C-alpha cells in the first residue's frame, strides 16, 4: 500500500517532496516514513521515496531552529509513538 503522501507526489505530478520548513511538514513526512517502515515489502520506488524522506527529515532535524529546542527528542517520541522502529530496508 502506497502512503498517501507518496500517492500525492506520484499521481498529482508535483515532483519530489520539498525541503521541510515547518513542524507540520515534518510530522507529515515522519508519518509517511513510518507507514513505509511498516510495509512488509517495498518496491524500488517506495524504497527511494523512503530514502528521500529520511534525508529531508535528517536535514531539518540537524538544522538549528531557535523555536525547536527539543526537536530530536520530539522526533524520536513521535516515531516511537507510531510503532515499529526496526529500521528494516
pLDDT 10s digit of each residue in the chain, 89 long?
A: 456 776 666 655 566 788 998 888 998 899 888 888 888 888 888 888 889 999 999 999 888 765 555 566 677 777 777 765 555 54
Structural contact between residues 45 and 9, judged by C-beta atoms closer than 8 angstroms: no
Q: How far apart are CA 80 and CA 47, in angstroms?
A: 21
What angle (nearest 5°) sits at the alpha carbon of residue 28, between those of residues 65 and 77? 65
Looking at residue 89, what is its pLDDT? 42
The set of cell numbers assigned to 16 is 519530489
Domain-wise residue ranges, the chain: 4-82
pLDDT on residue 66 = 58
The answer to whether the CB of 17 falls within 8 A of the CB of 4 is: no
Q: Specify the pLDDT at position 35.
A: 87
Amino acid at each position: 500500500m502506497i502512503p498517501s503522501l507518496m500517492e500525492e507526489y506520484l499521481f498529482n505530478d508535483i515532483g519530489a517532496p520539498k525541503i521541510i520548513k515547518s513542524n507540520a511538514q515534518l510530522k507529515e513526512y515522519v508519518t509517511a516514513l513510518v507507514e513505509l517502515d511498516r510495509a512488509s515489502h517495498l518496491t524500488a520506488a517506495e524504497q527511494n521515496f523512503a530514502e528521500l524522506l529520511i534525508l529531508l527529515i535528517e536535514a531539518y532535524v540537524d538544522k538549528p531552529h531557535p523555536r525547536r529546542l527539543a526537536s530530536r527528542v520530539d522526533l524520536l517520541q513521535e516515531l516511537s509513538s507510531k510503532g515499529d522502529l526496526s529500521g528494516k530496508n
